[in-house]
Chain A
Amino acid sequence: MRILVVEDTADVGEGVVECLEALGHAVDWARDGETADEWLRDTGYQLVVLDLMLPGFDGLTLLRRLRERRCETPVLILTARSAIDDRIGSLDMGADDYLVKPFDFRELQARVRSLLRRHSGGRAAELKCGKLVFDRSARTVRIDDVPAKLTRRELSLLEVFLARPTMVFSKAQLLDQLFGFSAEPTENSIEVLITRLRRKLAGSGVEITAQRGIGYHIVET
């Protein structure tokens, strides 16, 4: 995936870039708003990590321009201002998530992964399959209009399948989407997760089936 980092503070920018490259993404680093705006016009990015306080024009302006161009690239805001107004403001302006500085780089990685995952397969608010309804904004699942008690990882896994219902995912792909390269969980933990999910989806008209040797995909029964 191609990611644009917009950050004027060198030490922070360096950390963010390295951290994202460690996830295996191609990262461009713009140090001011104008450069970033220019690059955003020319290049298709899958994600923008945006600092709000920038020389030139600020992050909010950049964000507004981006959304005015009907560009739906997910944006993760970094802000040092603790005033929550900033966060709310940026969310209203069309940011997808935010992190307040100082932040934990592991959290940054997790958020980025989550954002990329969520934005695969379009921005539909609800994913439906059989009797199952996945509310992406509330992050809840209802089967036959009854809330299902899914853990967060189960939700993430289900979201991966539902976002691309026709696609078959290998264990490695799933591991990558859910935990990242550096994560400790093994392919075995994916199997455990899938087993738990299958149990919770019983009777939902949705089943996760294994294609031997290839991976898993979701089917409607």
Chain B
Amino acid sequence: MTVALASRLELPPSIFGRLRLLLATVFLIGALGALAAAWTLSKRAATDAYDQLLISSATQISEAITAENGQYSVLPPDSAFETLAQSKDDRFFFAVRAPDGSLLTGEPGLLPGSRHQVDGLPSLDYIDDDGETMRTVTIHRFIASLDTKGWSSVVVAQSLGARYQLVARLMLRIGAIIIFVAALGFLASLEAVKRALRPFDRIGHALSSRRAQDMGPIEVESPTETRALVDTINHTFHRLNERLNKLQNFAGVAAHQIRTPLAALGAQTELLLTDQTAQSRRKRVERIRAHLGKISRLTHQLLGQAMVSYRIDRIPHQEVDLVELVRHVLRDAVPESLSRDLVVEFDYAAPRIPVPGDDINLREALANLVNNAVTHGAVTMLRVRIDEGSDQICIAIADDGPGIASQLWDTATQPFQLPRTEGEGAGLGLSIAADVAKAHGGMLAFAWTAEKLFEISFIVARSAPLEKAA
């Protein structure tokens, strides 16, 4: 049922449509409210005005009551009739009664609306006459002469036509003004909204009319309110462009990296077929195995890179315990088949060091670093230490291997920038680790320790990093 209701109350699809609906509602309610108020006030004004006339005529009649020789008499004055006739099309009656209740003149059926006898004080009421509502006013008047005295009464009743007409006349004018003002306000607001939304149309037009290859900033005249939007769009284009350039570059280098060992593999396989001696064949096979290993690692790293960059963009960060994570990495990333024997040390500042992050990316990054250290570096020892800073966590991975020459540190994190002259790696491991560190609000740092150990620091932020500002 709520679904049906929701679909029936579906909002218009555009902002303009919604604002128009909102404005129409507001102005309609406002106009109706104003009309209701005007109606109430007009009615009160008309009632007051005509009540005064009615009271005035009753007063005039009551002042014409006289008592002489014990006889009460009344001669309703012309002015009373003239006052009543001001409500041009209204019916009226009156009844004048002597203190003993006898009718002096007028309509016998019209009785005083009030028994409250205060001299000259009118009391107002409504009565029903043959289905038509009439306004009545009753005035009591104390009449005294030499031989008699008492309360006489005057009742005047009049139909309400003139009041209705006055209300209708007032409402026609006031209503026209209210509706005019509301309509004007509504149209002005619509125009204002239309103008306010125009820059969005311009931006949309500028975006849709450009060629797909065009990555330059869009040039539209935009007020300060939409400046930020245009800047963001241009910035996004800029980043997209950079990324596409990088991707193109990466694809080129990756192609080279994959095709070269494949070509070597092909060549060595051909030669294997022509090799005559078992020893030369064995040498050939060893070389083939080396190339295969290279391709395997490269594939592994390329896929890892793809996964990492996918996850950097998509996966929300959760709490990750770095101690547990590093423990797993050390177990997984140090090959069992390593011919060298190693001391693997792991120090940490606290039993649990939670940070917001992506579990799998952190694992991939640290596994790359540890694997690099073990396969290319560490001679006798590998040391991993987790240090807690006030707003950063540093995972330092140190080994007693040759390390990376200081002059290569700046470029070591670029993809395919092989930091070692005769390395086996494809040169993606550090790049992946650097990307992950950056996505976690940190960085990758290189250093030589006091014990002459080569140390790579993987730094992440303690709290959630601001949304990738690059």
Contact = CB atoms under 8 A, between A and B. Distances in A.
Direct A–B contact in the complex, CB atoms closer than 8 angstroms: yes
Interface of A: 82-85, 88, 98, 100, 102-104, 106-107, 109-111, 113-114, 137-140, 147, 149-154
B282 to A, nearest CB: 15
Contacts of A114: 336
B345 A149 contact: yes
B336 A138 contact: no
Interface stretch (B116-124, B239-247, B292-300, B432-440): B292-300
Contacts of B363: 84
A107 B335 contact: yes
Contact of A88 (B330, B345, B360): B360
5 contacts: A82-B300, A82-B303, A111-B336, A137-B331, A140-B346
Given A138-B346, A151-B343, A152-B342, 9 more contacts: A82-B304, A84-B360, A98-B332, A106-B337, A107-B337, A113-B336, A139-B344, A151-B341, A152-B344
A84 B307 contact: yes
Contacts of A88: 359-360
A153 B341 contact: yes
Contacts of B381: 149
Contacts of B296: 102-103
A83 B331 contact: no
A25 B332 CA distance: 24
B85 interface: no
Contact of A82 (B307, B334, B337): B307
B342 A151 contact: yes
B327 interface: yes
Interface of B: 292-293, 296, 299-300, 303-304, 307, 327, 330-332, 334-338, 341-346, 359-360, 363-364, 380-381
Contacts of A137: 327, 331
A107 B336 contact: yes
B163 to A, nearest CB: 83
Nearest to B361: A84
Contacts of B299: 102
A185 B299 CA distance: 33
Nearest to B382: A152
Contacts of A109: 337
Contacts of A153: 341
A139 B292 contact: no
A114 B331 CA distance: 12
B341 A152 contact: yes
A106 B338 CA distance: 9
Given A82-B307, A84-B360, A138 B341 contact: no
A47 to B, nearest CB: 14
A154 B381 CA distance: 13
Contact of B337 (A85, A104, A139): A104
B377 to A, nearest CB: 15
A102 B341 contact: no
Given A109-B337, A149-B343, A151-B342, A104 B293 contact: yes
Contacts of B341: 151-154
Contacts of A149: 343, 345, 381
Given A85-B360, A110-B335, A111-B336, A138 B327 contact: yes
Contacts of B346: 138, 140
Contact of B364 (A84, A110, A150): A84
A102 B292 contact: yes
B38 to A, nearest CB: 70
Nearest to A87: B332
A109 B346 CA distance: 26
A102 B359 CA distance: 24
Residue among A85, A104, A152 with max Cβ neighbours from chain B (10 Å)? A152
B331 A139 contact: yes
B317 to A, nearest CB: 16
A103 to B, nearest CB: 8
A113 B360 CA distance: 27
Nearest to A153: B341
Contacts of B344: 139, 152
A114 B344 CA distance: 17
B303 A110 contact: no
B258 to A, nearest CB: 14
B426 to A, nearest CB: 14
Contacts of B293: 104
A136 to B, nearest CB: 10
B16 to A, nearest CB: 45
A60 B330 CA distance: 24
B414 to A, nearest CB: 22
A149 B345 CA distance: 7
A13 B405 CA distance: 43
Nearest to B302: A82
Contacts of B343: 149-152
A158 to B, nearest CB: 13
Nearest to B310: A83
A21 to B, nearest CB: 18
A102 to B, nearest CB: 4
A114 B337 CA distance: 10
A72 B93 CA distance: 112
Nearest to A105: B337
Contacts of A107: 335-337
Contacts of A104: 293, 335, 337
A29 B338 CA distance: 27
A135 to B, nearest CB: 10
B97 to A, nearest CB: 104
Contacts of B359: 88
B72 to A, nearest CB: 112
Nearest to A155: B344
A82 B305 CA distance: 11
A103 B296 CA distance: 8
A100 B331 contact: no
Nearest to B367: A84
A32 B343 CA distance: 41
Nearest to B296: A102
